[in-house]
Amino acid sequence: MKRILVIAGSAACLSFSGAAIATNGLFSEGWGAKSGGLAGGGSALGLDTMVATSNPAGLVNIGDRKDFGITYFSPMREYTVSGAFSTMFPPFPGDPVESGSVSLLVPNFGW
């Protein structure tokens, strides 16, 4: 019985893995000015409280501090479905789909 549950759970996770890849490229390299400037290396170094978004263990050496910031984010994304309709839900026709927002200001804070 346990083996059947493990196989069924694995099959369920694999069937939705395509939807998880759909947002690839929108996750920020770093949260906050210091971490963003290191192109992802800030999650290993733990320079500010925003390290908790990607590596909670980085808070060990932070101490008692407060960090505030605003990040400019420009998600100019586009995709086109070719061939058969998309198997993901909801199914999109073959027309190009573009992001509606050109510019966003994303606040960040931690303590």
The tens digit of pLDDT for each residue in 30-85 reads 666 677 677 767 778 878 888 877 788 888 888 888 888 887 777 666 666 666 66
pLDDT band at 22 (very low <50, low <70, confident <90, very high): very low
Cα–Cα distance for residue pair 43/25, rounded to 1 Å: 17
Virtual CA dihedral for 72, 25, 22, 11, nearest 10 degrees? -130
Note the pTM of the prediction, 2 decimals: 0.47
CB 28 within 8 A of CB 37: no
Q: Is the pLDDT of residue 94 over 70?
A: no
The tens digit of pLDDT for each residue in 2-13 reads 899 999 888 887
CB 59 within 8 A of CB 51: yes
